[in-house]
C-alpha cells in the first residue's frame, strides 16, 4: 500500500514539472536557435509537454516530453535567422495556454501542499490522543 504522503508528493512533483515546462516554453517562445554542448545549433526550440500517468498504487508519474507541435513559419524579414523569403521558423508556443498551465500547476501544487499539511495535522492529533 502506498502512503498518502507518497501520493501527495507525487502530485507536488507533477505540478512542479508542469510549472517548469510552461516557464521554459514561455522563456523560449521566440528562440530560433539552441545551445547544445556550448555550441549554438540552428534548431528551433521544441516546446515541452508534461504527461502524467496514474500509478497502480496511487499517485501520479509525470514526465517531460518534447511537444509534437511543428514550428510556426513567421514572416519576419529583418530577423537574423530569416530565410531568403524573410520567413523564420518559430517555436509553436501559445502564451495564453502556457499562462493557464502555470496557474493550474500553481493551484495543484497548493492543493497538494494543503492536503499534506492536513495529513500531518491528523497524524499529530492521533499521536496526542494515544500519548
In tens, the pLDDT along 17-30 reads 999 999 999 999 99
CA 23 to chain centre: 7
Half-sphere exposure of 32 (CA within 13 A, CB side): 13
Q: Would you state the pLDDT for residue 123?
A: 82
Q: Which residue has the cell 535567422?
A: 81
What range defines the domain where residue 73 resides? 4-130
pLDDT recorded at residue 131 = 63
Question: 49 near 67, Cβ under 8 Å?
Answer: yes
Say if CB 63 and CB 51 are below 8 A apart. Answer: yes
Rounded Cα distance between 56 and 54, Å, is 7
| pTM assigned to the model | 0.85
Q: Which residues pair with 72 in a beta bridge?
A: 90
Q: What is the count of structural domains for the chain?
A: 1
Mean pLDDT (the chain, rounded)? 91
Considering Cα of 68, then 19, then 43, then 81, what sign does the dihedral take? Answer: positive
Higher pLDDT among residues 13 and 123, named by residue = 13
Distances (CA, A) of 117 to 110, 114, 128: 10, 5, 16
Q: How many CB atoms lie within 10 A of CB 87?
A: 15
pLDDT tens-digit profile of 76-97? 999 999 999 999 999 999 999 9
Amino acid at each position: 500500500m502506498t502512503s498518502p504522503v507518497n501520493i501527495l508528493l507525487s502530485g507536488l512533483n507533477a505540478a512542479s514539472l508542469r510549472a517548469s515546462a510552461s516557464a521554459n516554453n514561455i522563456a523560449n517562445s521566440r528562440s530560433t536557435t539552441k545551445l547544445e554542448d556550448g555550441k549554438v545549433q540552428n534548431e528551433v526550440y521544441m516546446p515541452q509537454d508534461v504527461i502524467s500517468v496514474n500509478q497502480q498504487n496511487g499517485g501520479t508519474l509525470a514526465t517531460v516530453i518534447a511537444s509534437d507541435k511543428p514550428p510556426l513559419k513567421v514572416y519576419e524579414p529583418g530577423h537574423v535567422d530569416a530565410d531568403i523569403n524573410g520567413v523564420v521558423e518559430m517555436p509553436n508556443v501559445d502564451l495564453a495556454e502556457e499562462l493557464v498551465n502555470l496557474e493550474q500547476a500553481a493551484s495543484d501544487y497548493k492543493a497538494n501542499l494543503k492536503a499534506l499539511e492536513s495529513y500531518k495535522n491528523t497524524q499529530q492529533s492521533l499521536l496526542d490522543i494515544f500519548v
